[in-house]
Amino acid sequence: MALETQTKTVVGQFDYSDEDVNKGVVEFLRQMAEGLEKDGASMSQIPTYVTAVPNGTEKGLYMAVDLGGTNFRVCSIQLNGDTTFRLTYTKVAIPRELMVAKTAEELFAFLAKQVEIFLRTHHGEHFEAHIRRRMTMSSPEGFKDENVFRLGFTFSFPVQQLGINKGTLIRWTKGFDIPDAVGKDVCALLQTEIDKLHLPVKVAALVNDTVGTLMARSYSSPGKSGAILGAIFGTGTNGAYVEKLSNIKKPLAGEYDNSTGEMVINTEWGSFDNQLKVLPNTPWDVQLDLATPNPGIQMYEKRVSGMYLGEILRLTVIDLLKNPDVALFKDDNSSYNDWKSTTNIAEHSPIYKQWGLDTSVLSVAAADSTPELSILRQELEANLHIYAPSLEDAQAFKAIAGAIGRRAARLSAVAIAAIVLQTGKLNDPEQDEPIDIGVDGSLVEHYPYFRDMIYEALRAIKGIGEEGAKRIRIGIAKDGSGVGAALIALVAARMEKSTSTADFISDLRLNAKKTDLTAVPEDSELAAGE
């Protein structure tokens, strides 16, 4: 079978048509609703207790820390109130022995110490100001705490969130194993160690980096209204969006501010359609899934994210190499090769190793528009050790890689479209600005035309169409775990102030009713109250 013919057959198996896209959107909306109604659904739809997003006018100095793996990052973010900010940060490696410490205290004491070192290095003046705080009745807490940093804690491990700054650890991943911490509130663990060092820091928010992406985009995006969705399309994929509180039917365990009528939801959409009702499922998708540690789980992510696209391409190429009737990377003699040589694949080529093909090669293939695909062919030689690939070989490789990338982009559009339709913004007469979406990750940043392919699919979706797609603005949002976490700390501080002030006023009124305010207190009573 001619290589060109077989390539077209393979490419056709990765086709995700307009009809498929529309079926995907309908099912995505159904699974979103299911996740809002009950726990245990395919899409978890996790309430974050964040009930407002910034609009770019916010000012102040906030902190963020990020424990995402083997490194710990400490940041301070100066919000300038004009959609810009200044970021200062340090990053340290977590000592291996602390990743498997006997007690949670050991790890969190180390984290708190890094916060102290950062503050002494970059914000020494806050220690002096903190010491000078004086007792006052001007705030319900009984002291002025304008010099206390509000901190957002990005904790990239499975937690059960119980409030904006409360969450119990479900289990460790990424090489950590400290059983003592499981089931405990990670914010409280960090705050306890911070307090031991007498630092002017309050852990105000527990942060998911996808929620942080939404917040970072809301702050930096042009316009008066914030973003409706923050999405990651990188090594993994996930989205967080602004949902109406009235649509959240399952019980909310923790405290939250309901004055906005909204709450940010962490969709965990990587597990969309684990049942494969609408997701495409080629033989290579099946092979990939069976070889992962979690077969049958994260089925949407396994077709969209950068972690898996290179492996799908590798498995496809390997199947073609095994077919004796397909002349991919095979030459009978040099006359069949435009480089007047014969193609050879080294025994140690990454093409023969599981996960050996990095997704970046898809970007190289998509970007190469040279007549002889010389850039891609150099990549095949240099990194995959496929020597003297012919033009026909490179064309086949490029076509298959392009089909896998295009399918990922169109599947990404399914999630974006469903969120846009769920919010109802396209039909809101008061929505006179673009519908803003913040995205982050290597695919949207580095894969050529990925966003263009998303828009192509959006235009084909019922309820969006050409005109609706024009109103959707997809922009890059960087550093959700830093800037985004600081912004969630800001929102948390406002909620805290609003709630505590309201409670304080309520208590004063209650006391006033119980007290005869016309009575003049004795001197001794005044002295006791001072």
Comparing CA positions, the residue from 190, 155, 228 lying closest to residue 433 is 228
334 catalytically annotated: no
Greatest CA separation for the chain:
110
Q: What angle do CA 143, 146, 149 make, to 5 degrees?
A: 115
Catalytic residue among 20, 185, 209, 436: 209
CB atoms < 10 A from the CB of 530, how many?
5
Rounded-to-integer distance, Cα 292 and Cα 41, Å: 22
Backbone angles phi, psi at 159, to 5 degrees: -135, 155
Radius of gyration of the chain (CA): 27
Angle between helices 306-322 and 283-290 (to 10 degrees): 120
Backbone angles phi, psi at 238, to 5 degrees: -165, 165
171 catalytically annotated: yes
Paired sense of beta strands 435-440 and 472-476, if any: parallel
Comparing CA positions, the residue from 272, 351, 338 lying closest to residue 305 is 272
Comparing CA positions, the residue from 144, 82, 214, 254 lying closest to residue 487 is 214
β-bridge partners, 55? none
76 catalytically annotated: no
CB 285 within 8 A of CB 250: no
Q: Which amino acid is at 216?
A: A
Catalytic residue among 156, 341, 360, 442: 156
Rounded-to-integer distance, Cα 280 and Cα 449, Å: 22
3-state secondary structure 439-499: EECHHHHHCCCHHHHHHHHHCCCCCCHHHHHHHEEEEECCCHHHHHHHHHHHHHHHHHHHH
Rounded-to-integer distance, Cα 162 and Cα 342, Å: 63
Catalytic residue among 86, 120, 171, 509: 171
Task: Classify residue 520 by its DSSP letter.
Answer: P
Q: Which residues neighbour 286 within 8 Å (Cβ) at sequence distance 6 or greater?
A: none
Q: Look-up: residue for tokens 């090489």?
A: 175
Task: State the catalytic residues.
Answer: 156, 171, 209
